[in-house]
């Protein structure tokens, strides 16, 4: 009886092995096809294992409610190797002076750069122009001016992730909605999606706290992977989708809540 059960188990196992190989063929093939030396294009040797440099990219298409919370959450970070780039849209313009004052009060005026935002151009074109001015090795932290960081260790956490694994090119995290403090719906499980090449719903592209190497963005743009979408020129999630599609297995999901999304 025991021998019969073992034979049956072995037979089932033999049947499952080819199924597993077939179902994971594209998964392993895609991973092998990634250019392993690509990261050297935007990370110089002296920045590979040192503290990473971050650049907050502040932007909002909506009317601002209270940008003080946004700026305070940045200035209170324990990790201070960062700078702040403010995209001066018409919605942000009335608050620029108060933002400057808050940063000056923290003695960090030297960290702020204000970039003009041409309202006549598509949002994606403005993003291209501004990101082209970033250093390749800078890690962009994209932050809506109505939202804020969940705690003062967010940048430290990001630095740990990027320095501990050089194969990480971009990240996204879990978030909470304000004022309900309900946890957001972010799907970290991309393996099946990548295996089946169903990348239209990449969670990174539409996440609230997305981070990425500026050099990665510029590389994708140079190789014509990024194209304007004539019918939806302001859909940044669609514009960043090719970045996620190209990076694939270099995307890192952070289960920890790092971001507060203001739904008011």
pLDDT in tens, 152-173: 999 999 999 999 988 899 999 9
Averaged pLDDT for residues 255-260: 93
Q: Calculate helix-pair angle for 96-105, 67-75, nearest 10 degrees.
A: 30
In this structure, what token pair is assigned to residue 54? Answer: 């971050």
Helix, coil or strand: residue 144: strand
Least confident window among 81-90, 107-116, 239-248: 239-248
Read off the pLDDT band of 208 (50, 70, 90): confident
Q: Which CATH class is domain 37-262?
A: alpha beta
Average pLDDT, the chain: 78
Give percent of the chain with pLDDT exceeding 70: 67
Q: What is the pLDDT of residue 25?
A: 43
Domain ranges of the chain: 1-33, 37-262
pTM: 0.78
Least confident window among 64-73, 121-130, 190-199, 252-261: 190-199
DSSP letter string, 220-258? HHHTT-----TT-TT-HHHHHHHHHHHHGGGEEEEEEEE
Give percent of the chain with pLDDT exceeding 90: 39
Residue 40 φ/ψ, nearest 5 degrees: -70, -15
Averaged pLDDT for residues 168-191: 80
Whether the CB-CB separation of 91 and 61 falls below 8 Å is answered with: yes
pLDDT in tens, 9-61: 555 556 555 554 545 444 444 444 444 445 666 665 555 557 899 999 998 87
Residue 77 has pLDDT above 80, yes or no: yes
Read off the pLDDT band of 239 (50, 70, 90): low
Please state, in angstroms and rounded to a whole number, the distance separating the CA atoms of residues 135 and 40. 14
Selection from 55, 60, 92, 26 nearest residue 217 by Cα = 55
Please state, in angstroms and rounded to a whole number, the distance separating the CA atoms of residues 200 and 183. 23
Averaged pLDDT for residues 138-148: 94
DSSP letter string, 97-120? HHHHHHHHHTT-GGGEEEEE--TT
Please state, in angstroms and rounded to a whole number, the distance separating the CA atoms of residues 138 and 136. 6
Name the range with the highest mean pLDDT among 92-96, 116-120, 221-225, 256-260.
256-260
């Amino acid at each position: 009886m025991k021998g019969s059960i073992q034979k049956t188990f072995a037979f089932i196992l033999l049947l499952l092995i080819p199924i597993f190989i077939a179902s994971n063929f594209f998964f392993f093939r895609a991973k092998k096809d990634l250019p392993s030396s690509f990261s050297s294009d935007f990370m110089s040797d002296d920045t590979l294992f040192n503290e990473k440099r971050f650049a907050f990219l502040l932007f909002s298409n909506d009317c601002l409610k209270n940008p003080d919370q946004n700026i305070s959450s940045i200035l209170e970070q324990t990790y201070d190797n960062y700078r702040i780039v403010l995209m001066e849209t018409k919605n942000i313009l009335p608050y620029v002076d108060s933002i400057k004052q808050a940063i000056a009060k923290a003695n960090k005026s030297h960290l702020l750069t204000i970039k003009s935002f041409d309202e006549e151009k598509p949002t994606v074109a403005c993003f291209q122009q501004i990101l082209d001015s970033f250093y390749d090795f800078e890690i962009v932290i994209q932050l809506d001016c109505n939202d804020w960081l969940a705690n003062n260790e967010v940048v430290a956490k990001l630095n740990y992730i990027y320095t501990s694994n050089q194969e990480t090119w971009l990240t996204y995290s879990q978030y909470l909605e304000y004022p309900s403090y309900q946890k957001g719906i972010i799907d970290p499980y991309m393996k099946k999606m990548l295996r089946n090449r169903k990348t239209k719903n990449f969670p990174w592209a539409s996440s609230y706290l997305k981070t990425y190497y500026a050099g990665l963005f510029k590389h994708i743009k140079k190789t014509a992977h990024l194209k304007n979408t004539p019918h939806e020129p302001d859909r940044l999630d669609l514009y960043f989708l090719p970045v996620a599609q190209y990076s694939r297995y270099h995307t890192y999901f952070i289960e920890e809540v790092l971001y507060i999304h203001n739904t008011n």
